[in-house]
Every structure is written in structure tokens, then in C-alpha cells.
Structure 1
Amino acid sequence: MKLLRRLTGWFRSRSLRSRLAMLTAAAVAVAIAVVSIASWLLVREKLYQEVHDSLDQAPRTGPLGPARNPALYCGSTTAGALATVPAGAFGDRFGPQKYDFQILLNDGTVCFLGDASRGINVVASDLPPSTDSKHVAYRDGSYLNGDSALVRQTNTTVRVQGVEQTAVLLTALPTGGMQNSLNSLALLMAGVAGLGVIGAGVAGRVVARSALKPVDQLTDAVEHIARTEEVGTTIPVHGSDEIARLSTSFNSMSTALANSRERQTRLIADAGHELRTPLTSLRTNVDLLIRSDAQGRALPPETRARMLGNMKAQMQELTVLIGDLLQLSRPDTPNPEAVRTVVPFHETVERALERGRLRGPGLVFATDVRPWYVHGDPAALERAVINLLDNAVKYSPPAGTIEVSLRHGRLTVRDHGPGIPAEELPYVFDRFWRSPSSRQLPGSGLGLSIVAQTVQDSGGQVSLGPATDGGPGAQAVLVLPGQPGAVQ
């Protein structure tokens, strides 16, 4: 187990390219090994079957036919019996020897014919198991000199000193040539397997290098961003495989980070610009008051009251601006931890209308609000509606009419003011954007941005454009998903 853990740790410490090359080489090695072993076994079986078929063609009685009564040379052992065989006893009487014959009597005596040249090692299973003359069996054996052989056992009868005895005729064919061929084949397959594994390792290395090239590019890009903090760096995407999808995802993430940083930078710059004006005014007024007190030259009461009023107004503007900045400091994506409950949106609109009437006491509010329930953040939704009403109040003429309706989740706020030029419509929901004609009016330029973000978090849509009836003024439309009855 320790060795296995060490090997596993060593493997995991290698680079991904090396691991892929090693895994490829291992897979090819296993495949080659399985194919080679299977091929070797099939060839071995085929060769053994050929020797078996050749041995099966030998006569079952060999040279001991009924009409023959050859001389036998016997001994207690195979070597002893073979030593009694005279050289050339039969000469070329039977022609060249293809098979080797050996006789084994019931008492274990071994006998040879006169033309025997090599003996077969005898085993216990060679003794006659029965008197069945049809008994035939095969086994792997060997000669006295160690050469391998395939041996056939056949029951027969022989006449020894005028007495017939039951014996076993052993017929053998050498298999040494077949073994040499199998050994050569095994060496050849081992060499081919080795070359195949080496080639697979090299090919795996090349393939891994080519396949992981996009990953290397991705790694270089990530390291470049970590080193330089230059978000927005992308890598080329080729194809549609997993690596291409990873590259696409990285490019999307890098672009999103770049956009987020750009928005953050722009927000800070715009916030600093907006904060500079009230702070400068406050500093000027405070410096003037301090200088007048230090010099003992008191300001006229009317001037002092006007300056304090201006300071209060600037403080209120700063308070509103900071509140808007805090509202916009949330992420652009919906916060899953935000409080989202069932909101009677029509009641939210009614409360916002009450505050709108206080801010525009000389205006007429024509309302048509019907029940509608949504899921969302109650405080954020109320502030979004108030911002729409504040925008309408700000641009409405004196004694003008603001039409507010809520039907089937569609809130419409329409004023009768100067309206919005067509070229300014794409920017109305941008942070700190203010129309050139309205920069003298109070406000931070963040109200409609807050509306857009709140509606997006609630899964709705908001738009601002000219009045649909062709008359003067602008019309804001806010649509939220929900239903007219209370939802659970």
C-alpha cells in the first residue's frame, strides 16, 4: 500500500502533459500486451493441434502389427533398455523414422525395437489403466535428452519370450522446433510491443502538447493578468470542443472583469465629480463664516441665514447622493441573500404617491392603481417608484398633471413636461448622466440607475421614452411579473 501511495503521489506530481503521455503509453502497452498474448496463444494452439493431428495419423499398433513379431530390447528403465538396443539392428528396413516408439509393460519394464534411437521419459500415467485395446490418450512429455515431445498412449499386446502381455505403446513426436518458433515469436512480439510503447509515449507527448496548447495559452493569460492586473486579456478560440469552451468561458470572465473595473472606475470618477460641487460650496461658506468671526465683522443676519440655508441644502444634497451611491454599490447581478418577500405592489405605489404629492404640491396626480402582487425587496421597490415620481415631478410644468396607472403589473408614470430628446434616450439609465438642459435642477443623476437596477433584480423591465399618445411629456413604463391575487 505504501508503494502504491508513493507511486500515486509521484504520478500526481508530474505535469498534465507528462501524465497524458504516460497514460497513453500505458493504454497502448496494455492493448499490445493483450493482443500479443492472445496471438501467441492462438499460434501455440494451432501448432500443437498440427502436431496432435500428425501424431494421430501414426498407426495405433506401430510396428507391432499382427503379422509381425519383432525383437524387443527391454530393461527396467528407459535408459537401460535403450542401451541394449544394438546399433543398426533393422538397418533401413522400415525407412526413415518419423515417430519414436516405446513399449511399456504392466510391470514397468521398458522395451524398444531394434531401430530405436532415443527414449521417452516414462511417467506413472503411462502404465496401462485397463485392458481396453481402444484406450488412447495424449500428454506432454520429453525425451531422455530433455527435448520436449507430444506423446500418445495406446493399449496393445506384445509377445515377450513367447508370452503375450498387455502393454502400452508410446508414440512420440518432437515439439522442440515448435517451441523454438514460439519463443522466437514471443521475442518478436516483445520487441514490437516495446517499440509500440515507445512510439505511443512519443505520440502521446506530441498529442498532449498539441491538445494542451490552448491550456498553456490560458495559463499564460491568467499569469499575465495576475502579474500585471490587466483584466480584459483574451485568448484565441478554435473549434467547439471542451478546450474551446474553457477558452470561451475565460474570455467571457476576463471581459466581465474588465467591464466591472471600468464601471467601478467610472463610478468613482463620477462620484468624485458630483461630490466636489457641494463640498466646494460647503467649504466656501464655512470659510466665509470663520473669516467673518475671526475678523470681528459679523455678516448681516439675512446673509448669514441665506448661507446657512445653502449649507443645509448642500448637506441634504450630499445625504441624498451618498444614499444613492450606497444603493448602487450593490452588484449588478441579483443578490440571493436580499430580502425577497411577497409585496403588494399596489400599496407600494400608493405610499409612493403620497410622498410624491408632498414633493409636488401644485401638481395634479391622476391615478388608476389596481391590485398586483410581486416577489421582491419592498424598500427597494418603493424607492424605485418614488424615483420615477420624482423624475416626473421635477420636469412637470406648474399645475401640470402626472398620470399614474398600475394595470396587470404594468406601472405607467406619464408627465406633461418638455419630454426627452431622442438622442438622449439611450443614456437615461446611465449612472450620473444628466441631460444638459437639466443640470441646473436638483438631483444626483442616479435615480433612474437605481430604478433600472431594482427592476432588474426583481425580474422585470423598465423603459423611458416619449408619451405614446403623441402629446408633450415623457412616459416611464415599469413591468413586474406577478399576479392580481395574493401569492404564497
Structure 2
Amino acid sequence: MSARRRLGTRWRRRRPLRTRLAVAAAAAVALVAIGVCAAAFFVIRYKLYQQLDQNLAQSATLIAQQRHYDTEPGVVTGECRYLGAPACSQIVPADAADDPAEPYLLPVTGETRKVAARQTAPYYTSLTLHGKPTRMYTTSYGDGDAVQVALRADIAERGVSQAASLLSAVGGAGVLLSAVGGYWVSRTGLAPITRLTATAERIAATRDARHRIELPPEPPGRAGHQDEVTRLATTFNTMLAELEESVAARRRLVADASHELRTPLTALRTNAELLARADRLTDAQRERASGALGRQLREVTGLVNDLIELARDEEPQPLLEEVRLAPLTAHAVDAAREHWPAVPFALRVAPEAVDLSVPGVPARLSRLLTNLLDNAAKFSPAGAPVEVSLTAAALTVRDHGPGIAEEDLPYVFDRFYRAEKARALPGSGLGLAMARQIAHAHKAELTAERAPGGGAQFRLTLPAP
């Protein structure tokens, strides 16, 4: 990498984005302004000299019309020393031997002789005559002669000089305005990014995700039409809302978990302290305390395992495979029959669902079904069946228990939520929350509703193939 390129890269890294954007915008506008002024200068210069050349060509034509071709070579008119006077002119033969005795007013060169001999095309020349800028035109005349016509070029030179001064001033003003415009563009264009940076820094300092970036009001009639920076700010606000919701959910989980763990841990400590004084207890008391301690350990272990499962947001991709739902559901129902012998389970699999399969993790899907079946069996009266139905579109689990109260329906899948009727039953209130999380991880939707005729019905809507 060359030294110049390294210097440019180092400059870009050290300068803030606003400065680089202002410099880039100002440079672009300045280049345009300088280019326009330069183009205007060359156009003006070309038009001034074009007009002067046209006057010279007309003067040469007028001389050719007013003179006979046998006119002797020499000076025809010689008034070039006066500004605005008629053009000075002279006739030059192709052969230097035919030159008159009087000297020529205008310079004669070998190129002039070639034009007279028609060996070279006519041409224009800029020269200094009598200390003044002059423009000369040389063209063929008659048979073997050339005519040279000259005019003072002071007016054209002065016009070119004035145009250069004026356009230089305009270009300088354009460069200055481009610098101001570049600063304004960078300041206005990066305002949302500045607010975004300030918001991010404030969140980092306060650890409060409730802050948002202020968005400019949308102009009337252009709702939904946002520029790229505004869309970035909107996306950042959406991300902050998701972050705030996630942080709030984590805090609720920690608070609920600490609340749910406090009671069993207290009971565990009490029973452990009681067993530490086993020499003062009878055999029956020791057996009762030991059984309570083991039961409470199992409850705490199950609760901790459920919390670990809820902490997972997605399924591990390497474990995904095609899972046949009919055999998996039948296995889960058989396991539930063994665990709940007093509750009959009825399974119905639609013909179109016999070979139905979905991508997923078998152990996690089995856990989802087990939680739904355990929940249904827990609320089912003795002898009332739990009905399981699998179709190509959904899997439903229905019980004939007390059902779900209308005010409890929005919260049945919340962590640690337990309806008033369920508080006397065993469980931690995490089973349905875990079931919905597993369903979402498998692109499925789990809903709860009041079943017709009483009881609760949970519907797992399967993802479209």
C-alpha cells in the first residue's frame, strides 16, 4: 500500500463520520461549481474569439470583393494601431521575389507563402502588433496570392480577463457555500444517527432499555414513506422494545423463581436440621422427616430442571430431525396411562395423520405432549377420559374437568401462573409455559380454550409443510 493511500486510510479512521460526510459533500459541490465555472470560462472565451474571427473572415471577404485579382501585393490598409479602427490588411504573393519594395505591416512567414500557393489551409494567428494584442487571419487570394487581415484583440482579451475574474469569484463563493452546505447536510442527515448514538450511550450508562429515539413526524400524505436513516432509527426502537420486553421477562422469571424456590428450600432446611438431631427423634419421626426431605428434593430438582428448560429460546439445530407424530403421541399417551392409572386416555389418529412428520427434536416434542397430558389428567375427575386427537393440521388434548375460567384464559401460559382452582394441586406452574415455548421453537402454535360441554381443550396447530 502506498504512503498516500495509508495516509488517506488513517485520516478516515481518525475523523468522525460527520466530518467525513461534510468533506465529501462539500468536495462534490465544490467540484461541480469549479467545473461549471471553468466550462463557462472556456465557452465565453471561445465565443469572444469566434466573433473576432468572424469579423476577420468578413473583412477578408470584403477585400476580395472590392479588389481585383491583379492588384499588386503590399499593404492595403494599415490602421491596426487604433482600437475599433478598420482591419489592417495586406496582400502577399506566393513567391518572395514578387514582394514589393515597401515593408509589410503584418508578419509574413513561410506558412503565409504556402497559403498563397494553396498548399495549406487558411489559419488564425494571435500576435502582438504595436505593443497591442492582435488577431490575424491568413487566407488565399486570387491566383497565387494570400490576404492577411488583422484586428486589435483588446476587447476580446479584456472580456476574457473580466470573465476569468468574475467566474473565479463565483467559483470561490461556490466553494464557500459548498462547505456550508456540506456541514448542513452532515448535521441534518446524521441527526437521527446522533440521537441513536446518544440513546445507546444512555442505555449503556443507565442499563435502562426504556429509552427511545425521537423520530421526526411523518409529513401528511406520506405515511409509511421513511428514509433510510429514519428506518434505521425505527428498527433500533423496535429492537429496544424487544430488549426491554426480554429484560422484563428475565426479571420476572428470576423474581418468580426466587419466590417459588423460597418455600421448598425453607422446608428442605427445616427437615435437614431436624434430621441433624436424629438422636432425639423416634424411628417414626425420622422416617417421616426423611420421606419429606426426599419428596422436597424431587420437587426442587424438577423445578430447577423446568427453569433450565425455559431458559432455552431455540432448539439446537444439530438435533433436528423428521419426527413422526403418530408414534410419538401414542408413546406419550401410553406413558401417561402408567403415570395416571385412574384416568382413561382416548387416542384418535386421523388416517391422513398416520405418516405425518415434522422437523423437530423428539425429546422436546415428547416433553410438550407429556406436559399437556399431565395437565389434563391433573384436572380430570376420576373416570373422566382425556381425549387426544391428531389430524394433519393440529393435535388437541381435552379433559372433562372444571375447565378454565374466562379471566384465567389470557394467563394460562404465563410462567408460575396458577389459577385459583389449581393452587391446591401439585405443580410449579411451569408446565404449560414450557409447552408453549417448545411449540414456538418448532414453528407451531399452542392455544387454550374452554371445551364445549365443559373442560379445557389445548390445541397445537402444526406448521404448514
* TM norm structure 2: 0.87
Q: Which moved more, 1:184-193 or 1:271-280?
A: 271-280
Alignment match, 1:29: 30
Q: Deviation string for 1:15-58 (max 9, x for gaps)?
A: 22222222222222222222222222222222222212211222
How far apart are residue 100 of structure 1 and its match?
Answer: 1.6
| Cα distance in structure 2, aligned partners of 1:253 and 1:154 | 80
Structure 2 residue ranges without an equivalent (≥5): 219-225
Q: Which moved more, 1:52-61 or 1:408-417?
A: 52-61
Q: Is the 8 A contact 1:402 1:416 kept in 2?
A: yes
2:306 matches 1:305 = no
SS of alignment partner, residue 342 of structure 1 = strand
Q: Deviation string for 1:90-143 (max 9, x for gaps)?
A: 99xxxx9511224545238875869x8xx43343311245545x9871221313
2:180 matches 1:202 = yes
1:105-184 to structure 2, matched below 5 A, reads: 105=93, 106-107=95-96, 119-129=105-115, 131=117, 137-145=122-130, 147-156=132-141, 167-184=145-162
* TM norm structure 1: 0.83
2:223 matches 1:223 = no
| Cα distance in structure 2, aligned partners of 1:317 and 1:384 | 19
| Cα distance in structure 1, aligned partners of 2:374 and 2:429 | 12
Alignment match, 1:373: 357
| Cα distance in structure 2, aligned partners of 1:323 and 1:135 | 103
| Cα distance in structure 1, aligned partners of 2:40 and 2:201 | 51
How far apart are residue 144 of structure 1 and its match?
Answer: 4.3
- Give the direction of change, closer, same or farther, for the CA distance of 1:408–1:156 in structure 2 (3 Å limit): closer
- Give the direction of change, closer, same or farther, for the CA distance of 1:221–1:314 in structure 2 (3 Å limit): same
1:73-84 to structure 2, matched below 5 A, reads: none
2:347 matches 1:347 = no
Alignment match, 1:385: 369
2:444 matches 1:460 = yes
Alignment match, 1:250: 236
* AA in 2 matched with 1:394: K
- Give the direction of change, closer, same or farther, for the CA distance of 1:400–1:63 in structure 2 (3 Å limit): closer
SS of alignment partner, residue 408 of structure 2 = helix
Alignment match, 2:41: 40
281, 286, 297: which one pairs with 1:315? 297
- Give the direction of change, closer, same or farther, for the CA distance of 1:456–1:166 in structure 2 (3 Å limit): closer
Alignment match, 2:53: 52
Q: Deviation string for 1:349-397 (max 9, x for gaps)?
A: 1111111111211121122124221111111110000000100111111
The number of residue pairs the alignment matches comes to 445
| Cα distance in structure 2, aligned partners of 1:53 and 1:361 | 116
Q: Is the 8 A contact 1:120 1:142 kept in 2?
A: no
* AA in 1 matched with 2:261: L
| Cα distance in structure 2, aligned partners of 1:90 and 1:407 | 113
- Give the direction of change, closer, same or farther, for the CA distance of 1:476–1:143 in structure 2 (3 Å limit): closer
How far apart are residue 11 of structure 1 and its match?
Answer: 4.2
SS of alignment partner, residue 89 of structure 2 = strand
SS of alignment partner, residue 319 of structure 2 = coil
| Cα distance in structure 2, aligned partners of 1:264 and 1:309 | 34
- Give the direction of change, closer, same or farther, for the CA distance of 1:476–1:424 in structure 2 (3 Å limit): same
How far apart are residue 13 of structure 1 and its match?
Answer: 2.9
SS of alignment partner, residue 172 of structure 1 = strand
Alignment match, 2:255: 269
2:358 matches 1:357 = no
Q: What RMSD, in angstroms, separates the aligned Cα atoms of the two structures?
A: 2.9
SS of alignment partner, residue 143 of structure 1 = strand
Alignment match, 1:328: 310
Q: Which moved more, 1:338-347 or 1:59-68?
A: 59-68
Alignment match, 1:291: 277
383, 388, 397: which one pairs with 2:381? 397
Q: Which moved more, 1:101-110 or 1:17-26?
A: 101-110
| Cα distance in structure 2, aligned partners of 1:120 and 1:342 | 102
More helix by share: 2
| Cα distance in structure 2, aligned partners of 1:445 and 1:90 | 117
SS of alignment partner, residue 292 of structure 2 = helix
* AA in 2 matched with 1:418: P
- Give the direction of change, closer, same or farther, for the CA distance of 1:131–1:125 in structure 2 (3 Å limit): closer
Alignment match, 1:20: 21
SS of alignment partner, residue 127 of structure 1 = helix
SS of alignment partner, residue 475 of structure 1 = strand
- Give the direction of change, closer, same or farther, for the CA distance of 1:108–1:38 in structure 2 (3 Å limit): farther
Alignment match, 2:213: 235
Alignment match, 1:98: 86
- Give the direction of change, closer, same or farther, for the CA distance of 1:269–1:150 in structure 2 (3 Å limit): same
| Cα distance in structure 2, aligned partners of 1:112 and 1:102 | 14
Alignment match, 1:280: 266
* AA in 2 matched with 1:195: A
Alignment match, 1:81: none
Q: Is the 8 A contact 1:103 1:110 kept in 2?
A: no
Q: Which has the larger radius of gyration?
A: 1
SS of alignment partner, residue 423 of structure 1 = coil
| Cα distance in structure 2, aligned partners of 1:456 and 1:475 | 18
- Give the direction of change, closer, same or farther, for the CA distance of 1:367–1:4 in structure 2 (3 Å limit): closer
- Give the direction of change, closer, same or farther, for the CA distance of 1:270–1:6 in structure 2 (3 Å limit): same
Structure 1 residue ranges without an equivalent (≥5): 74-88, 158-164, 484-488
* AA in 1 matched with 2:274: L
- Give the direction of change, closer, same or farther, for the CA distance of 1:248–1:387 in structure 2 (3 Å limit): same
How far apart are residue 482 of structure 1 and its match?
Answer: 5.8
- Give the direction of change, closer, same or farther, for the CA distance of 1:131–1:461 in structure 2 (3 Å limit): closer
- Give the direction of change, closer, same or farther, for the CA distance of 1:21–1:102 in structure 2 (3 Å limit): same
1:467-478 to structure 2, matched below 5 A, reads: 467-468=451-452, 471-478=453-460
SS of alignment partner, residue 325 of structure 1 = helix
